[in-house]
Amino acid sequence: MTTAQRWVATAFGGPEVLKLVETDVPTPGPGQVTIEVRAAGVNPADHKHFAAGQDPGLLPLAIGYEVAGVVSALGPGTELASGGGTGGDEVVASLVNGGYATALTVAAADVFAKPARLGWAEAANLLLVGTTAAEMLAVTGVADGETVLVHGAAGAVGSSVLQQARILGARVVGTAAERDFELVRSLGAEPVGYDDGLVERVRRAAPGRIAAALDTTGSDQAADASLALVADRGRIVTTAAFGRAAADGFRSVGAANPASGPFRARARSHVLALAAAGDLIVPIARTFPLSQAPDALSLLRGPHPAGKLALIASE
Ligand SMILES: NC(=O)c1ccc[n+]([C@@H]2O[C@H](COP(=O)([O-])OP(=O)(O)OC[C@H]3O[C@@H](n4cnc5c(N)ncnc54)[C@H](OP(=O)(O)O)[C@@H]3O)[C@@H](O)[C@H]2O)c1
């Protein structure tokens, strides 16, 4: 047993409820791995995890679903999910609990060799958005030669959707603020603004049929535009507009969809292979020291630059 520092939510609310505490890191048993964290990925799911209005019986809550780091110990007879594994290996882990930490012990089934071409910040932010994007494309059946609409194309999930759609051979029209048009173009998509007149603007950009619409913004505007442009509601999906999806009969992915967890667990190898081959990049907006996790979450909750945020636990 060793000790580590980790962030926990001691109450429900905003980033001010987070506290950095000393915690035990269990010696890994069979099927477990201890990781010295180099970087933790930062996702909107992290602040939603301790948002106000939940059952106080759940507290304290460890925060953070994905990390990149170095194996410090493996349990007896244990292999990483990607095979093999020994002390000193560079790895990524996702679907973990408490990634905002200097070290943690996790299930080996969630630990994979880190693609060598990714830095720590990129690797720590690859899997949550990458597997979400893969799931959005799979549930809407996006195929070679189709034209699809992506709402929030410059966002973290959106930019992974753009790259993976291009790999599938689809053409993408993506909504974004004008300052992010170059990023959207660099990821192989055609940007359109998301101010008034969105439906007409998309029709002008893609005069043929829009086969599917993938929304990462959760806005009513995006839901309305998707419904106006895509006749088959089975080919509209959102990561955030759950009420609209239920009311209007289109798809959603995430915690409330029982198929999402198993799909994403399986999709990790595919997403890692794309990154290892140089076909999937993770734009990073900014890194923070682990000690500044509340500042990172404050930035993420408001207007923020395109690209992901990472917490650097050690270099
Ligand atoms: N269900 C799931 O499993 C799942 C998984 C991952 C993420 N999510 C959710 O999906 C959402 C996006 O996550 P993310 O990590 O990609 O966040 P993000 O990086 O902040 O991206 C959101 C993007 O949407 C843009 N945007 C905001 N309003 C828009 C609008 N009306 N039209 C077009 N673009 C708009 C933002 O750009 P501006 O700078 O222009 O505002 C930003 O680029 C969050 O709500 C997150 O919680 C859900």
For residue 40, what is the domain's CATH number? 3.90.180.10
Q: Could you tell me how far CA 261 lies from the centroid of its own chain?
A: 13
Are the C-beta atoms of 151 and 219 separated by less than 8 Å?
Answer: yes
Whether residue 135 is found in the same domain as residue 95: no
| Helix or strand (DSSP H, E) at 203 | helix 198-205
Low pLDDT (below 70) residues in the chain: none
Q: What angle do CA 287, 103, 271 make, to 5 degrees?
A: 60
Q: Could you tell me how far CA 121 lies from the centroid of its own chain?
A: 13
What is the residue range of 28's domain?
2-126+282-312
Question: What are the two backbone dihedrals, phi and then psi, of residue 301, each rounded to the nearest 5 degrees?
Answer: -75, -20
In-domain check, residue 65: yes
Burial label for 257, CB within 10 Å (0-12, 13-18, 19+), is middle
Centroid of ligand 1 to alpha carbon of 216 (angstroms): 5
Per-residue pLDDT at 1: 82
Are the C-beta atoms of 148 and 212 separated by less than 8 Å?
Answer: yes
Whether residue 63 is found in the same domain as residue 155: no
Centroid of ligand 1 to alpha carbon of 157 (angstroms): 7
| Separation in Å, CA 163 to CA 108, 120, 148, 288, 300 | 28, 20, 13, 26, 22
Residue with CA at minimum distance from ligand 1 atom 26: 152
Per-residue pLDDT at 153: 98
Per-residue pLDDT at 6: 98
Whether residue 106 is found in the same domain as residue 151: no
Per-residue pLDDT at 250: 98
Whether residue 11 is found in the same domain as residue 73: yes
**Who lines ligand 1 at CB under 6 A?**
43-45, 129, 132, 151-152, 154-158, 175, 177, 194, 216-219, 221-222, 239-240, 253-254, 303, 306
Residue 216 per-residue DSSP state: S
Centroid of ligand 1 to alpha carbon of 110 (angstroms): 25
Whether residue 110 is found in the same domain as residue 139: no
Whether residue 243 is found in the same domain as residue 292: no
For residue 171, what is the domain's CATH number? 3.40.50.720
Whether residue 121 is found in the same domain as residue 8: yes
pLDDT digits (tens, 9 = 90+) for 222-234: 999 999 999 999 9
Centroid of ligand 1 to alpha carbon of 155 (angstroms): 5
- The C-alpha atoms of residue 206 and residue 160 are separated, in whole angstroms, by 21
Whether residue 92 is found in the same domain as residue 140: no
Per-residue pLDDT at 314: 83
Q: What angle do CA 219, 15, 99 make, to 5 degrees?
A: 95
Whether residue 115 is found in the same domain as residue 144: no
| This prediction's pTM | 0.98
Domains in the chain: how many in total? 2
- The C-alpha atoms of residue 282 and residue 119 are separated, in whole angstroms, by 10
In-domain check, residue 266: no
Residue from 47, 149, 216 to probe ligand 1 pocket by mutation (most atoms less than 8 Å from CB): 216
In the chain, helix, strand, coil percent, each to 5?
35, 25, 35
Whether residue 236 is found in the same domain as residue 287: no
Ligand 1 nearest atom to the CA of residue 135, by list position: 3
In-domain check, residue 260: no
Whether residue 85 is found in the same domain as residue 179: no
Residue type at 205?
A
